[in-house]
Amino acid sequence: METERDLSKHRLDQAEQCLKDAKSLLDNDSYKGAVNRAYYCAFHSMRSLLALEKVDFKSHKGVISYFREKYIKTDIFDIQLSKILTDLFQVRTESDYDDYYDIKREEAAIQIDNAELFFIRIKDYLDGIWAVLH
Protein backbone atom coordinates (compact mmCIF):
# COMPACT_ATOMS: atom_id res chain seq x y z
CA MET A 1 0.00 0.00 0.00
CA GLU A 2 1.25 3.44 -0.92
CA THR A 3 1.94 5.76 1.97
CA GLU A 4 1.84 9.53 1.97
CA ARG A 5 5.62 9.49 2.15
CA ASP A 6 5.83 7.26 -0.94
CA LEU A 7 3.50 9.56 -2.87
CA SER A 8 5.45 12.59 -1.72
CA LYS A 9 8.72 11.06 -2.92
CA HIS A 10 7.14 10.01 -6.21
CA ARG A 11 5.92 13.53 -6.85
CA LEU A 12 9.31 14.99 -6.01
CA ASP A 13 10.88 12.51 -8.44
CA GLN A 14 8.45 13.82 -11.07
CA ALA A 15 9.56 17.36 -10.26
CA GLU A 16 13.21 16.40 -10.65
CA GLN A 17 12.49 14.75 -14.01
CA CYS A 18 10.70 17.90 -15.19
CA LEU A 19 13.78 19.92 -14.23
CA LYS A 20 16.03 17.58 -16.19
CA ASP A 21 13.66 17.76 -19.16
CA ALA A 22 13.62 21.57 -18.97
CA LYS A 23 17.41 21.69 -19.13
CA SER A 24 17.48 19.27 -22.03
CA LEU A 25 14.87 21.26 -23.95
CA LEU A 26 16.83 24.46 -23.34
CA ASP A 27 19.97 22.78 -24.70
CA ASN A 28 17.97 21.83 -27.80
CA ASP A 29 16.64 25.39 -28.33
CA SER A 30 13.07 24.43 -27.40
CA TYR A 31 12.38 27.37 -25.12
CA LYS A 32 8.61 27.08 -24.84
CA GLY A 33 8.91 23.44 -23.89
CA ALA A 34 11.66 24.30 -21.42
CA VAL A 35 9.55 26.86 -19.53
CA ASN A 36 6.63 24.46 -19.49
CA ARG A 37 8.75 21.79 -17.82
CA ALA A 38 10.28 24.35 -15.45
CA TYR A 39 6.82 25.31 -14.22
CA TYR A 40 5.85 21.67 -13.79
CA CYS A 41 8.97 21.12 -11.73
CA ALA A 42 7.64 23.66 -9.24
CA PHE A 43 4.09 22.32 -9.50
CA HIS A 44 5.09 18.73 -8.69
CA SER A 45 7.35 20.02 -5.92
CA MET A 46 4.37 21.71 -4.29
CA ARG A 47 2.23 18.61 -4.72
CA SER A 48 4.92 16.55 -3.01
CA LEU A 49 4.31 18.66 0.11
CA LEU A 50 0.56 18.27 -0.18
CA ALA A 51 0.84 14.47 -0.39
CA LEU A 52 2.14 14.36 3.17
CA GLU A 53 -1.01 16.17 4.30
CA LYS A 54 -3.38 14.05 2.20
CA VAL A 55 -4.44 17.23 0.42
CA ASP A 56 -4.87 17.77 -3.31
CA PHE A 57 -6.74 20.10 -5.63
CA LYS A 58 -8.25 19.79 -9.08
CA SER A 59 -6.75 23.06 -10.29
CA HIS A 60 -3.28 24.51 -10.44
CA LYS A 61 -4.56 27.67 -8.78
CA GLY A 62 -5.88 25.59 -5.89
CA VAL A 63 -2.46 24.01 -5.35
CA ILE A 64 -0.74 27.38 -5.60
CA SER A 65 -3.17 29.08 -3.21
CA TYR A 66 -2.80 26.33 -0.64
CA PHE A 67 0.99 26.41 -0.92
CA ARG A 68 1.05 30.15 -0.34
CA GLU A 69 -1.38 29.99 2.57
CA LYS A 70 0.23 27.03 4.32
CA TYR A 71 3.91 27.47 3.50
CA ILE A 72 4.61 31.09 2.52
CA LYS A 73 2.36 33.03 4.89
CA THR A 74 3.58 30.88 7.79
CA ASP A 75 7.23 31.59 6.89
CA ILE A 76 8.09 27.94 6.29
CA PHE A 77 9.40 29.17 2.94
CA ASP A 78 10.61 32.63 1.99
CA ILE A 79 8.38 34.99 -0.01
CA GLN A 80 10.94 34.63 -2.81
CA LEU A 81 9.42 31.23 -3.66
CA SER A 82 6.00 32.84 -4.08
CA LYS A 83 7.46 35.38 -6.50
CA ILE A 84 9.25 32.63 -8.43
CA LEU A 85 6.02 30.68 -8.62
CA THR A 86 4.09 33.68 -9.95
CA ASP A 87 6.66 34.17 -12.69
CA LEU A 88 6.86 30.47 -13.59
CA PHE A 89 3.09 30.22 -13.81
CA GLN A 90 2.72 33.39 -15.89
CA VAL A 91 5.47 32.56 -18.36
CA ARG A 92 4.27 28.96 -18.74
CA THR A 93 0.69 30.09 -19.33
CA GLU A 94 1.67 32.71 -21.91
CA SER A 95 4.05 30.30 -23.59
CA ASP A 96 1.47 27.52 -23.78
CA TYR A 97 -1.57 29.57 -24.79
CA ASP A 98 -0.44 32.74 -26.56
CA ASP A 99 0.21 31.84 -30.18
CA TYR A 100 2.60 34.74 -30.64
CA TYR A 101 4.45 34.55 -27.36
CA ASP A 102 8.16 34.71 -28.06
CA ILE A 103 10.56 33.62 -25.38
CA LYS A 104 14.29 34.06 -25.62
CA ARG A 105 16.91 31.62 -24.44
CA GLU A 106 18.02 33.91 -21.62
CA GLU A 107 14.48 34.16 -20.20
CA ALA A 108 13.99 30.40 -20.44
CA ALA A 109 17.30 29.87 -18.63
CA ILE A 110 16.19 32.20 -15.83
CA GLN A 111 12.93 30.26 -15.47
CA ILE A 112 14.86 27.00 -15.21
CA ASP A 113 17.26 28.42 -12.62
CA ASN A 114 14.29 29.63 -10.58
CA ALA A 115 12.55 26.27 -10.86
CA GLU A 116 15.73 24.57 -9.67
CA LEU A 117 15.94 26.86 -6.66
CA PHE A 118 12.27 26.16 -5.89
CA PHE A 119 12.87 22.42 -6.18
CA ILE A 120 15.99 22.47 -3.98
CA ARG A 121 14.26 24.42 -1.21
CA ILE A 122 11.34 22.02 -1.12
CA LYS A 123 13.57 18.97 -1.40
CA ASP A 124 15.70 20.14 1.53
CA TYR A 125 12.56 20.69 3.61
CA LEU A 126 11.13 17.30 2.67
CA ASP A 127 14.40 15.50 3.38
CA GLY A 128 14.07 16.67 6.98
CA ILE A 129 10.45 15.54 7.21
CA TRP A 130 11.08 12.16 5.59
CA ALA A 131 13.97 11.50 7.99
CA VAL A 132 11.53 11.82 10.89
CA LEU A 133 8.90 9.63 9.18
CA HIS A 134 11.38 6.80 8.47
CA dihedral 119, 123, 125, 127 (to 10 degrees): 180
Residue 88 confidence (pLDDT) above 80: yes
What residues does each domain of the chain span? Answer: 4-133
Torsion of CA 113, 117, 118, 121, to 10 degrees: 170
User: pLDDT grade, residue 133 (50/70/90)?
Assistant: confident
CA nearest to 85, candidates 126, 38, 131: 38
CATH superfamily, with its number, for domain 4-133: Nucleotidyltransferases  domain 2 (1.20.120.330)
pLDDT digits (tens, 9 = 90+) for 90-102: 999 999 999 999 9
* DSSP H helices in 1-134: 4-27, 31-52, 60-67, 79-97, 105-133
**For residue 130, what pLDDT is reported?**
83
pLDDT score recorded for residue 1 = 42
pLDDT in tens, 18-69: 999 999 999 999 999 999 999 999 999 999 999 999 999 999 999 999 999 9
pTM of the model: 0.94
pLDDT, mean of residues 105-128: 97
Per-residue pLDDT at 91:
97
Per the model's pLDDT, the better-predicted residue between 1 and 35 turns out to be: 35
**Mean predicted lDDT score pLDDT of the chain:** 95
